[in-house]
A = this chain, B = another copy of it.
Amino acid sequence: MLINIDLQSNEPIYEQLKNQIMIQIARKDLKPGDGLPSVRRFAADLGINLHTVNKAYQQLKQEGFILIHRQKGVVVNPEGIPSVDGEYEEKLAQSLRPLIAESACRGMTEGEFTSFCRQLFKQLTDEGDEY
């Protein structure tokens, strides 16, 4: 579990944590059924508060990425991650639109943008490399 938290970032810590866990899942460093550290353990390892870890876990649970057992701790959803639905596509589009708009303003073409995405996609999903 290589997780890097930037305490200085504007991005909330719990968001960073969520994202990094999702990245691990995307690149299959974490597979369905794999366990994650307990909130206390993780908080101690990362040097952050247990409530912050808990908030990340609760949201991941709520979105169906993980299951939280009262006793046995936390595991990646063994039934797999919920797949893309209309609701997610809309959310994704909402997030992408501003990024695309700004990139277009700055002169990026459609091809440049998509190939930029392709690169990132490969980096994230190819196993083993730097994230």
Contacts and interface: CB of A to CB of B under 8 A. Distances in A.
Interface residues of A, number: 51
Quickly give the copy total for this chain: 4
- Per DSSP, are chain A's interface residues mostly helix, strand or loop, or mixed? helix
Interface in A54-87: 62, 65, 67, 69-70, 72, 81-84
B69 A96 contact: no
Contacts of A44: none
Contact of A97 (B23, B72, B83): B23
Contacts of A83: 106-107
Interface string A30-42: 0000000000000
Interface of A: 7-8, 10, 12, 15, 19, 22-23, 25-27, 62, 65, 67, 69-70, 72, 81-84, 88-89, 92-93, 95-108, 110, 113-114, 116-118, 120-122, 124-125, 131
Given A92-B116, A97-B120, A97-B124, 16 more contacts: A19-B97, A23-B98, A23-B101, A27-B104, A65-B105, A82-B106, A84-B103, A84-B106, A88-B106, A100-B124, A104-B125, A113-B117, A114-B114, A114-B117, A114-B118, A114-B121
